[in-house]
Amino acid sequence: MKVYQTNEIKNISILGSSGSGKTTLAEAMLYEGGVIKRRGSVDSGNTVSDYFPVEKEYGYSVFSTVFSVEWQDRKLNFIDCPGSDDFVGGAVSALNVTDTALMVLNAQYGVEVGTINQFRYTEQFHKPVIFVVNQLDNDKADYDGTISQLRDQWGGKIVPIQYPVSTGASFNAVVDVLKMKMYRWKPEGGVPEVLDIPAEEMDKAMELHRALVESAAEHDDMLMEKFFEEGTLSEDDMRAGIRAGLVIRGMFPVFCVCAGRDMCVRRTLEFLGNVVPCTDKMPRPVTTEGVEVTPDSNGPTSLFFFKTTVEPHIGQVSYFKVISGKVKAGDDLLNADRGSKERIAQLFSVAGQTRNEVSEMVAGDIGATVKLKEVRRGNTLNGKGCDYRFDFIKYPEPKFRRAVKPVNESDAEKMMEILMRMREEDPTWVIEQSKELKQTIISGQGEFHLRTLKWRIENNDKLPIEFFEPKIPYRETITKAARADYRHKKQSGGAGQFGEVHLIVEPYYEGMPAPDMYRFGGQEFKISVRDTQVVDLDWGGKLVFINSIVGGAIDARFLPAILKGIMARMEQGPLTGSYARDVRIIVYDGKMHPVDSNEISFMLAGRNAFSTAFKEAGPKILEPVYDVEVSVPADYLGDVMSDLQGRRAIIMGMNSEKGYEKLLAKVPLKEMSTYSTSLSSITGGRASFTMKFANYELVPSDVQDKLLKAYEATQAED
C-alpha cells in the first residue's frame, strides 16, 4: 500500500442497530475494494469484521473493527462498530477518531432506538452523517416508510440521493438523482449496468433531483447565486454543495444498498471517495492544555491510541490515529501519559485480523502496531520536542452491575489480571474491588455485555467464574440529636486503661450554625466551641468533630484518638455495618486518669460513646438513588411506567421526541439490578435507558426493617 497524504485520507465510522447489516456491508466494501477475494457471511462465521471467537459464538459484533479500502486514489479508513447498545464503547471510540458516520438502516424496521441513540453520539461529536438503507431485497422492506421515519426525526435535512425502483425479492435497480442515471444489477450483484432513467420514473427522479440541487446550493453562497441564475447545478457543483452541507450537518444524504447481494456498494464507495470530506477539512482535535492541533504531515509527530486488542500468537495490538506529523517504522517516541519511551517496530494498515505492513503513515491516517511495552488505550505518543497529550474520549456511565468471583478462590488474582486486561479492550467495563462491600464488582452496559465477558473468560482463558447480585452500598445517618457517655476501664496488673468520653451527635447539613445549647431529659448542656474539624469522607458526606471540652477534663492530646475511634465506627455503621455519613459530634466532657489514660483508652471510649448515641439519634439507612432516562416508543409507555413504579421510582418528567417518549425518573439502585433485561422484554428491545448516580435518600421504613433483620441474621451466623 502506498503512503497516502492527509488530503487523500477519509475516516468513516459504520454505525447502525443490531441486525442492520453493517458487518455484511463492510464485507462487500472490502470485496469491491479488492482487499478480499471472496465475501464471507455472518452465518458462516468467516467475515473480516467479526473474527473473535465470542463474535462467532453469538453472531453479533462485540468489538469495533478497523479496515481500509483504497478507492479512486483515496484511502478510506473504516471502523465497523457493534450495533448493540451493550457495546456502545466501540462506537464512542470510533466517532472520536473518524470524521464521518455511515448510519446503516434495516429497510424492514427503519429508524430504531439504536439508530437514534447512535445518532445522538454523532450529534455530540458534531460528525457528518450519511444514511444507508440496507436489505432492500427483504420481503418486508419498506423504503418509503423508512424515509418517512427519517424525516419525522430529522426533517428537511434528510435528502435522498437514491431510491429503489422496487423492493423485496425483485429488488435489482436504483435511481440515482445525483447522477440522474438508473443502476441495475444481475442476480450476483457487483458491477451494475448504468442506464437512462425510464420514462415512468422520470417525474419522481426530477422531483428528488430538484430537492437535492436546492439542498446542495443552500450551503454555499456562490452555489446559491449560481442556482438562482441558471436554475440548476452541475454534478461537480452538487458534490461541492453536499460536502459543505455534510461538514456543518446541514444535510443527511440517503443511499440504498443490498449488502448481502453486493448491490450499490460500489456506488456508495464512489460517493464516499468523491464527496465525503477528507480529514484535513474537519474540526481539529484539542490537547488537554486546550491547544488545537492541525493534521499537518510536516508538524511534530503525535499519535493517539484509541483501541487495543489481545490476539492469539501476537499479544497486544494497539490501534492509533496519527494526529500530527508522520510516523515511520523504527521511530522512537515518548509516552506523554507514562513518561516511557517506545519504539514503533512495525506499522500496519489493517483489515480485521489481517495486517499489511507499511513503511510510513501521515497525519490523519489510522493504523496499528504491536508489542509496545507500556502503551494503553487513551495514551499519546510524541516525537522529539512535542508535548501534546489527548484525552477526548468520554464513555457512557454503566447501567448493569454484578459481583464476580472465581469458582476456585485460589484463582482470584488470576481473574483480576484477566479483567484488567479485558478492560483495556473495552473501557465501558468498569471493575472495582470494593473494600466496603468486600466484593469485586463489574459494571457494564447491559446483561449481554457482562454475559459476553463471562463467556470470554471461561472459554478463552479457561477460568470458571460466577456472577451474583452485588450488595448495595447503603449509608447510615441520624435524624435527631442524642447524647451518650462511655467509660473504658481496664485493670490487669501494672498500668491499666482509663478513658471517659461524653458526647452529643446530631445530623449535619451544609451551613448549619455553630452549636449553642442542647436539652436532654430535662437537663441543659451549654456548648462552648473551642475547635472544629470538618472531615470530607471518602465515601461521601461529612463528619464534623467539635471540641467543647472545658476545664481540661480531657487533655487535648487525646482528642485525635477519640476522633479515630469515631471514624472506625463510621466505617462500620451500627445499624447494618454500612458507612455512616453527615454527622456532627460535640465532645463536651469526660474524665482521664493521671497514670492509666492513654490513646487506646480514649479511642475505645469515643467509639463506644458514638455507637450508643448514634442508635438513640433516630438512625436511618440511606440508599443510592440514580437518575434514569428511558427512551421508549409511545406504544409501550404505559407498561414501562408501571414497571418503573413497581421499582419504587419517582417519575420526574416526561416529554415526546419524534415518536419516542422520554421518561425521567429517580430510582433506587437496588431496584435497577435486572432493569435492562426487563425493559428489553417489555418493549421487544426497542427501548433504551441511561442511568447516573444522583444522591443518597432515606429508605422507606418497611425496607429498613427488612435490611436490619437481614443484617442481624448474618451477624448471628457469624
| pLDDT tens sequence across 519-548 | 998 899 999 999 999 999 999 999 999 999
Is there a single domain that holds both residue 499 and residue 580?
A: yes
Q: Mapped to the 3 state alphabet, what secondary structure does 356-415 carry?
A: EEECEEECCCEEEEECCCCCCCCCEEECCCCCCCCCCCCCCCCCEEEEEEECCHHHHHHH
Q: Would you say residue 587 has pLDDT above 90?
A: yes
Q: Would you say residue 272 has pLDDT above 70?
A: yes
Is residue 291 in some structural domain? no
Q: What pTM does this model have?
A: 0.83
Provide the CB-side half-sphere exposure for 77 (13 A, CA).
31
Q: What is the pLDDT of residues 641-661, one digit of tens each?
A: 999 999 999 999 999 876 678
Beta-carbon contacts of residue 717 (< 8 Å; ≥ 6 apart): none
Q: What is the pLDDT of residues 134-170, one digit of tens each?
A: 999 999 999 999 999 999 999 999 999 999 999 999 9
Backbone torsion region of residue 233, taken as left when φ is above 0, otherwise alpha when ψ lies between -120 and 50, otherwise beta:
beta
Report the percentage of the chain scoring pLDDT > 70: 99
In this predicted structure, what is the pLDDT of residue 425?
Answer: 87
Q: Would you say residue 491 has pLDDT above 90?
A: no
In this predicted structure, what is the pLDDT of residue 677?
Answer: 87
Identify the H or E element spanning 311: strand 302-311
Is there a single domain that holds both residue 159 and residue 22?
A: yes
Is there a single domain that holds both residue 109 and residue 176?
A: yes
Angle at CA of residue 556, ends 553 and 562, nearest 5°: 90
Is residue 237 in some structural domain? no
Is there a single domain that holds both residue 370 and residue 423?
A: no
CA dihedral (576, 579, 581, 586) positive or negative:
positive
Average pLDDT value for residue range 107-123: 90
**CATH assignment at residue 355:** 2.40.30.10
Q: Would you say residue 30 has pLDDT above 70?
A: yes
Structure confidence at residue 493 as a pLDDT band (50, 70, 90): low
Is there a single domain that holds both residue 660 and residue 644?
A: yes
Is residue 314 in some structural domain? yes
Is there a single domain that holds both residue 191 and residue 268?
A: yes
Final residue in a domain of this structure, among 355, 382, 409? 382
Residue 677 domain boundaries: 621-703
CB 619 within 8 A of CB 477: yes
Q: In total, how many domains does the chain have?
A: 5
Q: What is the pLDDT of residues 36-65, one digit of tens each?
A: 898 888 877 788 877 777 787 777 788 899
